[in-house]
Amino acid sequence: MKRMKNLVKGAILAVGLFAGVQVASAQQKIGHIDADQVFQATAEFKTAQEQLKVLGDAKQKELEGMYAELQKKEKEANDLMLNQSEANKAETQTKLQTIGQEFQQMQTRVQEVQKVAQEDLGKKQQELMAPIQTKLMNAISTVAKEKGYAYIFDIGSGAALYYQGGEDVTEAVKAKLGVK
């Protein structure tokens, strides 16, 4: 009989604890945001985009000048071939060979300039966008704390941008998968 009373008390306590945990879990607020939309709506983003466009246009203009030089070399080679005769064949072939080498060197330079331009644009983009990203993440964290959100999800990417509390099951999942 005493054992039955302890069992009933234990069951009531377990139900009470379970209900308390459920209420506590139900009280966690979850929010969402389209972070990319907010990111692109900032004045800093628009300024950064303008700066990137100016840099991109400058790089494009440099490349267009190089393409124009390539076209001149190509036209020079075509003109030589059209004006080639038996009398000037050896001289024309020598000139064509020189022009061909110059053309290949110019193509290599164009490829190098394209690569450097892409790298420069990537670095500049990272330099300009990283502070905006940090500012956005700080704002999300501040709003989450002020409004009492436990989780903020980015509906654009499906990622949790902010979380506080909750149970981290990373190690349990790693163990289930046999990952150390």
Q: Where are the domains of the chain?
A: 29-177
As a whole number, mean pLDDT of residues 113-136 equals 96
Residue-level pLDDT at 134? 94
Assess contact for 71 and 106: CB atoms under 8 A.
Answer: no
Say whether pLDDT at 16 is over 80.
no
CA distance 136 to 38: 8
Q: In this structure, what DSSP letter does residue 174 have? A: H
Looking at residue 19, its pLDDT comes to: 44
Of 40, 56, 32, residue with least CA distance to 144: 32
Tell me the average pLDDT of the chain. Answer: 83
- Residues 58-110: pLDDT tens digits? 999 999 999 999 999 999 989 888 888 888 888 989 999 999 999 999 999 99
Over range 44-58, report the average pLDDT: 96
